[in-house]
Amino acid sequence: MRVRTFEAFLPALNTFEQARKNPAFEKASPEWRQGFNAVWDAFMKSVSNLGIEWQWSLPQAEDQKFDPYTHEILEEIPTDDPEKDHVISQVYRSGYRVGDRVIQPAQVSVYIYKV
């Protein structure tokens, strides 16, 4: 039940997150950003209360290894550094899960080693 309830709100949550990443967000007044963040924090507390884990968002996911079970690649970025092969470069959309069950994989770009 809690997963289905959460899935119903995912489109709105994803849009909300994109709004926070929009450059216009930083241009808004401090008071407006504070109010927006208060709503975000309350929403995320409700998500947590449902037992849903917010995962793979920035900055924690950057420089982590790509995991095909929890990430979806949107873009491959060539690199000449073998250490960066299959390392996350950017997170476009956060992922969510309950325990081991992924509800929404994170959408990411990854470095791909090219010789």
User: At 89, which amino acid appears?
Assistant: S
Decide: 80 and 113 in contact? Cβ < 8 Å: yes
CA-closest candidate to residue 7, choices 108, 96, 71, 101: 96
State the Cα–Cα distance between residues 110 and 88, nearest whole angstrom: 4
Per-residue pLDDT at 9: 87
Per-residue pLDDT at 42: 93
Decide: 110 and 89 in contact? Cβ < 8 Å: yes
User: At 110, which amino acid appears?
Assistant: V
Per-residue pLDDT at 60: 61
Per-residue pLDDT at 104: 94
- Which residue segment(s) compose the domain that 34 sits in? 2-113
CATH of the domain at 52: 2.30.22.10
Tokens matching residue 32 = 């407006």
Q: For each successive 10 residues of the chain (115 residues), what is the average pLDDT?
A: 84 90 93 94 89 70 83 95 93 89 92 90
Per-residue pLDDT at 1: 67
Q: How many domains does the chain have?
A: 1
Per-residue pLDDT at 64: 85
Maximum distance among all alpha carbons in the chain? 50
